[in-house]
Structure 1
Amino acid sequence: MHDTNLLQLITDDFAPLQQLMELLQTESLALHGREMQLLEEILAQKQALIILLEQHGRKRSEILASLNLPTNRDGLEQLASQSSIGDQLLEQSDALMQMLAQCQAINVNNGQSIQVQQASTANQLKILTGGEPPALYDARGSTSKLAMPRPLSQA
């Protein structure tokens, strides 16, 4: 009975995980286009899906813990070895873990994109506000004096 409940929980996670993967891919496009409204909508949807997936993960862990099994892959393998649907349980778990790994890879790429955009924006703001001293030479061959930061209205 526990094995069928566990299999059902794993199977139930495929749809929200697929939605999460699609949202992460859409988020990637929205990040490149800097579509802030769309990014806010995606964030809300991602949070709801992640909460659902975490709840299912906790339930799976509780099932394994109630059987005095480790709450990781080893515990699942031990349960599968005693179950008539053990092979199916392991196959579905592996497929779920593979999808999770794909989501994580997309999320890492999105995070890197955000960091690049933050650095670019910070550099643009430095240029506009004069925050970075110029590394130019004046007519006498010496470096320019430090420029005073200026408000954006005067940039």
Structure 2
Amino acid sequence: MHDTTMLHLIEDDIAPAQELLELLRGEAVALHGRDMAVLETILARKQSLIVLLEQHGRRRTQLLAELGLSADRQGVQALAAQSAQGEAMLQRLDLLGELLDACQEVNQTNGRIIQVQQHITSNQVRILMGGDSPSLYDSRGGTSPMARRRPLSQV
């Protein structure tokens, strides 16, 4: 009975994990294009999938704890060793692990894209505000002395 429940919990996470991976890949494209409308839609769906995956993960952990098993792969392997569905359980667990690893990798890439864009934006704002720009030329062809801060409305 517990083995069937565990198998269903694992299988129930595969489709959301696949959808999350596709959303993260779409997020990378939207980040490059700075498409805020698409990013907002992706974020909303991504959050709901993450909550669902976390809930299922807690249920799996609770099930393993009730059986006195560790809440990791070794615990699932111990449960699978006692089950006729053990091989299928481990195969599905491997697939889920691969999907979640791929999600993590794409998410880290997306994080780096965001950091680069934040850096670029902060540099652009600093230049527009007149800060930290002694290498810029003034209207007479000379370099600017100390930059003075200006409100964006006067740039």
Common fold: TM-score over 0.5: yes
Q: Which moved more, 1:80-89 or 1:128-137?
A: 128-137
Match of 1:96 in 2: 96
Q: Where does residue 27 of structure 1 map in the other structure?
A: 27
| 4+ runs deviating over 2 angstroms | 135-138
Q: Provide the rounded CA distance (Å) in 1 between the counterparts of 2:23 and 2:87.
A: 31
How far the C-alpha of 1:144 sits from its partner, in A, is: 5.2
* Superposition TM-score, scaled by structure 1 size: 0.92
Question: What secondary structure, in the 3-state scheme, does the structure 2 residue paired with 1:131 have?
Answer: coil
Which amino acid is the alignment partner of residue 59 of structure 1? R
Residues 80-91 of structure 1: pairs in structure 2 closer than 5 A: 80-91=80-91
Task: Give, in whole Å, the separation in 2 of the partners of 1:136 and 1:57.
Answer: 55
How far apart in 2 are the matches of 1:108 and 1:136? 35
C-alpha distance in 1, partners of 2:90/2:2?
14
Q: Partner residue of 2:105?
A: 105
Pair 1:115 & 2:115 matched: yes
For residues 74 and 47 of structure 1, do their structure 2 counterparts lie closer, same or farther at Cα, with a shift above 3 Å needed?
same
Q: 1:137, CA displacement in angstroms? A: 9.4
Query: Displacement, 1:135?
Result: 3.7
Q: What one-letter code is carried by the residue in structure 2 that aligns with 1:108?
A: Q
Residue 154 of structure 2 aligns with which residue?
154
Contact 2:127 2:133 in 1 (8 A): no
Please give the residue correspondences for 1:16-95 in structure 2 after superposition, counting only pairs within 5 Å: 16-95=16-95
Q: Distance in 2 between matches of 1:82 and 1:150?
A: 72
Give ranges in structure 1 of 5+ residues lacking alignment: none
Gaps in structure 2 of 5+ consecutive residues: none
Scaled by the length of structure 2, the TM-score of the pair is 0.92
Q: How big is the alpha-carbon RMSD for the aligned residues of Structure 1 and Structure 2?
A: 1.8
Q: Say which SS state the counterpart of residue 47 (structure 1) adopts.
A: helix
CA distance, structure 1, for counterparts of residue 104 and residue 122 of structure 2 = 27
- C-alpha deviation, 1:122, in angstroms: 0.3
Corresponding residue number in structure 2 for 1:2 = 2
